[in-house]
Chain A
Amino acid sequence: MIEFTFWDILRNLLLAARWTVLLSLVSFAGGSIVGLIVMFMRISPNKAVATIAKGYIELFQGTPLLMQLFLAFFGIALLGFTVPAWLATGLALILWTAAFLAEIWRGYVEAIAKGQWEASASLGMGRLQQMRYVILPQAMRIAVPPTVGFSVQVVKGTALTSIIGFVELTKAGTAVTNATFQPFLVYGLVALIYFALCWPLSKSSQILERKLNVAHKNH
């Protein structure tokens, strides 16, 4: 029987963690783009468009990410493509992230005083220009802490992709456990690696929030 040293286990887990990081980055970047579009739709004066966006958000926030992954995996396959696991997981995670980011950002965009909209409209700005030059720069500033905070959920969400066969940190943990029969050590290490990825994000979100609160205290 092959003996595995502690270093063997840790190295394999860390190598797999690269995929967790990459998948998190892709999901977060893609989710931001889609999320911004959904947020635009959500606050649209057009009732039908706003309702569609609302339905999208409700659907993705009201169902398990695991089910969304399964549906993406088997749904794309139905269209006649063979789906590599990374594509299905990437797609599902992007759509899921977008729903949450859209809802978080909507709150901050709506928090911007109505007068700002009216002032920019009176300058003859179109809706996109208003967003781009007046509303978003202000809203995004206060939305940074919760957005960073949500990125932790994205990193943790990637763990589910192991179930449909994407080899990242959790999947590697299972594989290494099956080879070494040391579940306590291996899953403990897996948890610590996730913690090392997520904790700095949580902490910086808190610090950013505190800074912002101090900046807004005196008004």
Chain B
Amino acid sequence: MGYRLDFGWIPQYWPVLVSGIGVTIYLIAAGAAAGCLLGMVCAWTRALGPAWARPVVVAYVEMIRNTPFMVQLFFIFFGLPSLGLQMTELQAATLAMIVNLGAYSCEIIRAGIEVTPRGQFEAGASLAMSRFQTFRYVVLVPALQRIWPALSSQIVIVMLGSAVVSQIAAEDLSYAANFIQSRNFRAFETYIVSTLIYLLLAILLRQVLAWVGRALFPKRRSAR
């Protein structure tokens, strides 16, 4: 009983794969940008925001970090319409990515903010900076610089997790793989190819994030 691996289907289905890759890249780009922004706002709220808002952020972060991404996705896509919030698959997937990464990045950024020496806040205040200015210029940037590696690997993890969005029929790379294997009946080969593409995307994404880190935070000897 010999099984011959067959990759002859690749040229025929290549466009499907490419469009799937496009959607996966879009998801992680939108998710990372908006998710990190959300994370920054939440981190600010937790560290310096109004007292009433802090428990809300804590509840949000803990709830997201302790439930599977897929359940969050199903809740958003299947559950929210009963509240009148109808979304397309892609919108639901994007929202789930943002909400998920927002919670993780909040926790990571907060860790960076917490180790900021107290004196930095006071120094900012003594230069007549407002609380927001102090946060923006004195606290946030060094904090982000400090936690950039952790944030980068979290973004890669979320990108890999995004494979699940195919379950609500958002047409990403894993959806493309499911589609192709249902046509060519070469499930194993199809998943090998898509897995390798994911690996390549992960390696590329790591490079891009390292590059963004270098661009955002040029080496400053005095930083720390």
Question: Are A187 and B195 closer than 8 Å at their CB atoms?
Answer: no
Majority secondary structure of chain B interface residues (helix, strand, loop or mixed): helix
Majority secondary structure of chain A interface residues (helix, strand, loop or mixed): helix
Among residues 49 to 99 in chain B, which have CB atoms less than 8 Å away from a CB atom of chain A?
62-63, 65-72, 74-75, 78-83
Question: Are A64 and B71 closer than 8 Å at their CB atoms?
Answer: no
By a CB distance below 8 angstroms, the chain A residues around B174 are 64, 66-67
User: Is the CB of A117 closer than 8 A to any CB of chain B?
Assistant: no
In the complex, which of the residues A77, A173, A198 contacts B74, with contact meaning CB atoms closer than 8 Å? Answer: A173
Given A67-B195, A78-B3, A184-B80, are A62 and B202 neighbors across the interface (CB < 8 Å)? yes
By a CB distance below 8 angstroms, the chain A residues around B66 are 152, 156, 194-195, 198-199, 202
By a CB distance below 8 angstroms, the chain A residues around B162 are 64
Question: Are B67 and A63 closer than 8 Å at their CB atoms?
Answer: no
Q: Please, what's the 1-or-0 string for A62-100, where 1 marks a CB less than 8 Å from any CB in chain B? A: 111111101100110110100000000000000000000
Query: What's the nearest-Cβ distance from chain B to residue A150, in Å?
Result: 12
By a CB distance below 8 angstroms, the chain B residues around A177 are 78
Question: Are B79 and A75 closer than 8 Å at their CB atoms?
Answer: no
User: Is the CB of B187 closer than 8 A to any CB of chain A?
Assistant: yes
User: Is the CB of B13 closer than 8 A to any CB of chain A?
Assistant: no
Given A64-B198, A194-B67, are A163 and B167 neighbors across the interface (CB < 8 Å)? yes
In the complex, which of the residues A71, A187, A202 contacts B79, with contact meaning CB atoms closer than 8 Å? Answer: A187
Q: How large is the interface on B (under 10, 10 to 19, 20 to 34, 35 or more residues)?
A: 35 or more
Question: Are B79 and A63 closer than 8 Å at their CB atoms?
Answer: no
Which residue of chain A lies nearest to B83 when distances are taken between CB atoms in the complex? Answer: A184
By a CB distance below 8 angstroms, the chain A residues around B80 are 184
Question: Are A191 and B163 closer than 8 Å at their CB atoms?
Answer: no
Q: How far is the CA of A65 from the CA of B198 in the complex (A)?
A: 11
By a CB distance below 8 angstroms, the chain A residues around B62 are 195, 199, 202
Q: How far is the CA of A188 from the CA of B79 in the complex (A)?
A: 8
Given A63-B160, A67-B191, are A170 and B63 neighbors across the interface (CB < 8 Å)? no
Question: Are B71 and A71 closer than 8 Å at their CB atoms?
Answer: no
User: Is the CB of A34 closer than 8 A to any CB of chain B?
Assistant: no
Given A173-B71, A183-B74, are A62 and B203 neighbors across the interface (CB < 8 Å)? yes
Question: Are A63 and B68 closer than 8 Å at their CB atoms?
Answer: no
User: Is the CB of B134 closer than 8 A to any CB of chain A?
Assistant: no
Q: How far is the CA of A202 from the CA of B83 in the complex (A)?
A: 31
User: Is the CB of B116 closer than 8 A to any CB of chain A?
Assistant: no
By a CB distance below 8 angstroms, the chain A residues around B65 are 152, 198, 202
User: Is the CB of B38 closer than 8 A to any CB of chain A?
Assistant: no
By a CB distance below 8 angstroms, the chain B residues around A78 are 3, 188
Can you list 18 pairs linking A and B with CB atoms under 8 Å apart?
A62-B160, A64-B174, A64-B198, A66-B164, A67-B194, A70-B177, A71-B191, A75-B188, A156-B68, A159-B71, A183-B81, A184-B75, A184-B83, A187-B71, A190-B74, A198-B66, A199-B62, A202-B66
- Name B's A-contacting residues (CB within 8 A): 1, 3, 62-63, 65-72, 74-75, 78-83, 156, 160-164, 167, 174, 177, 187-188, 191-192, 194-195, 198-199, 202-203
A64-B174, A64-B198 are known contacts; what are 15 more A-B pairs with Cβ within 8 Å?
A: A64-B163, A67-B194, A71-B192, A71-B195, A156-B66, A162-B70, A173-B71, A183-B79, A183-B82, A184-B78, A187-B74, A187-B75, A188-B75, A191-B75, A194-B67
- Name A's B-contacting residues (CB within 8 A): 59, 62-68, 70-71, 74-75, 77-78, 80, 152, 156-157, 159-160, 162-163, 170, 173-174, 177, 182-184, 187-188, 190-191, 194-195, 198-199, 202
